[in-house]
Amino acid sequence: MRDTQLPGRSPVHATDAMAATSHPAATLAAIDMMRTGGNAVDAAITAAAVLCVVEPHSTSIGGDCFALYAPGGGDVIAINGSGKAPSTASVEWFQAQGLTSIDFQSPHAVVIPGCIAAWQKLSDDHGKKGLDACLQPAIKFAENGYPVHSVIAKAWEENADKLATDENSRQIFLSNGSAPKAGQIHHQPALANTLRAVANQGEDAFYQGEVAEHIVAYLQGKGGLHTLDDFASTEADYVKPISTDYRGHEIVECPPNGQGIIALEIFNILNEFEMQRHHPLGVERLHIEAEATRLAFRDRAAFLADPDLAEVPVEHLLSKDYAKNLCQLITMDRAMARLPAPGETSHADTVYLTVVDEDQNAISFINSIFHSFGSGLLDAQTGVLFNNRGASFVIDPLHPNCIAPKKRPMHTIIPGMVKKNGRSVMPFGVMGGHYQPVGHAHFITNILDYGMDVQEALDAPRAFAFAEQLQVERGLKTKVVEGLHALGHDVVEAGTALGGGQAIQMNWETGVLTGGSDPRKDGCAIGY
């Protein structure tokens, strides 16, 4: 149990159903959906749609979606709702333009949004209430307005210069010449109309007809390669989940093109160490975690891509022998000065939410536009703010993640699920761009290695080895930071909080649900 003399909050307990999201309005909308007959899938879509309105820096219907769904806590179903590059987006075209990379605010960074297709498929196949009912709360907030919450207001202000570069984004998000303050009411009427069209006509209203025509005209006007056929052919796909064992539990992730495989690689490396011997916020634990991250991210940079159009060595990267060889490269007295070649043993904004309903249906759900406010490009006619996920592509025909027609880019967003004895026991996720696989490992090890409850595991300070630096949150003690520096890590204070997360534990013996929500965001867990 936490020290009640220190800031923090307790986990939430309930018996019937629970939702945990990054925004109170989204959590409450999910609860209301279940109280009126909807199931976990309905509630998750409802919450995601609300977040697309009230948390615009993190997600949008112009973004992507991944989900893991365990009906009755059983076998996990994975869905990939990430968008594809336009059908004429060949590497040769980009080379002919003299481009060596894709700018984060370029129309070429915008992949065809996939989340609406994923919502429709999940609703049709596993929901009870229909997409129309799921979208009503979001429509209400977009039309009638919503108060901007504190963390969101800060992100909004930090991105004001970016939003000002696009006339439409400036008009919608900086309507009074500046970002709204916390508590200020914000409206998105054009987005309300688009959401209403999707509610009435389903996904076809987004991918065909007037909405698609407006979107394509806008993106083409910016120089994009997007066509109506690209939108009309958009589909979400069911994919086979991947997993690994950790401390007697099965950790389940979505397969590539997402980076869930990188989280599992980190788990496999950590599995070779007796992590519980080390203090949860001590030098040794954070050092091991950082070195495991460096090794796994080296593989991410080299191999992670769309498996339909590139060879991704999933079995090799997840093999126990590979992990054992990697862990031998980690020493406790010094950070690795040089990493071996990938496959050898010689940041961002997103919303994550999770729901468990009265029938023990559990869903782990993530929706994203990549960087804060995505590309910063917004179509005024539809109110749709576009992702910049395509900036993850590389302009190199020899690289697996090279851009190609109808190809999905390497993705950072990953929902997670924990199973034990064949049943799902905890849908979870830690949002935060590149940090997400590390966040998954840090959170789960907090619980399984250090016995923290779900809220403590989310609250605990974090560190992230990325781009040759070890970013640390201010919550870590000075002596720990100094100890990491002494081992050779280039330690810097994180510019922002590292990620955010939610989780719901399922106790199959008592029927009690226990949820937590990350204090780095505005949200909460609610159950009944």
Length of the chain counted residue by residue: 528
Q: Where would I find the H helices in 55-114?
A: 91-96
**SS3 for 268?**
helix
Edge-to-edge strands of the sheet including 12-14? 12-14, 513-517, 500-506, 423-431, 416-420, 249-253, 242-246
DSSP string, 270-314: HTTS-GGGS-TTSHHHHHHHHHHHHHHHHHHHHH-S-TTTS---H
Contact 429, 58 (CB under 8 A): no
CA distance 251 to 445: 11
Alpha-carbon 479 to chain mean position: 32
Beta-carbon contacts of residue 389 (< 8 Å; ≥ 6 apart) = 63, 64, 82, 83, 109, 110, 111, 368, 369, 370, 409, 411
Is residue 4 flagged as an active site residue?
Answer: no
Q: Per the structure block, which two tokens stand in for 173? A: 């998000």
Helices 40-54, 189-201: crossing angle, 10 deg rounding:
160
CA 427 to chain centre: 13
- Nearest 5°: phi and psi at 14? -160, 170
Q: Rounded to whole angstroms, how far apart are CA atoms 343 and 282? A: 29
**Concatenated DSSP letters for 395-444?**
S-TTSTTB--TTPPPPB----EEEEETTEEEEEEEEESGGGHHHHHHHHH
Neighbouring-strand partners of residue 238: 79
Cα angle 499, 387, 88 (rounded to 5 degrees) comes to 140
Pairing of strands 491-493, 469-472: parallel
Q: Give the Cα separation of 468 and 47 in Å (integer).
A: 36
Q: Which residues pair with 251 in a beta bridge?
A: 244, 418
How many Cβ atoms are within 10 Å of 10's Cβ, its own excluded?
13
- Closest by alpha carbon to 214, among 62, 373, 352, 338? 62
Point out the catalytic residue in the list 350, 354, 382, 412: 350
Let me know: does 210 contact 382? Beta carbons within 8 Å: no
Phi-psi label, residue 429: left if phi above 0, alpha if psi -120 to 50, beta otherwise: beta
Contact 416, 253 (CB under 8 A): yes
Q: Which two tokens stand for residue 139?
A: 């429509």
| Token pair of 165 as six digits | 């570069």
Return the SS3 of 249.
strand
Give the residue numbers annotated as catalytic, written as ranges: 350
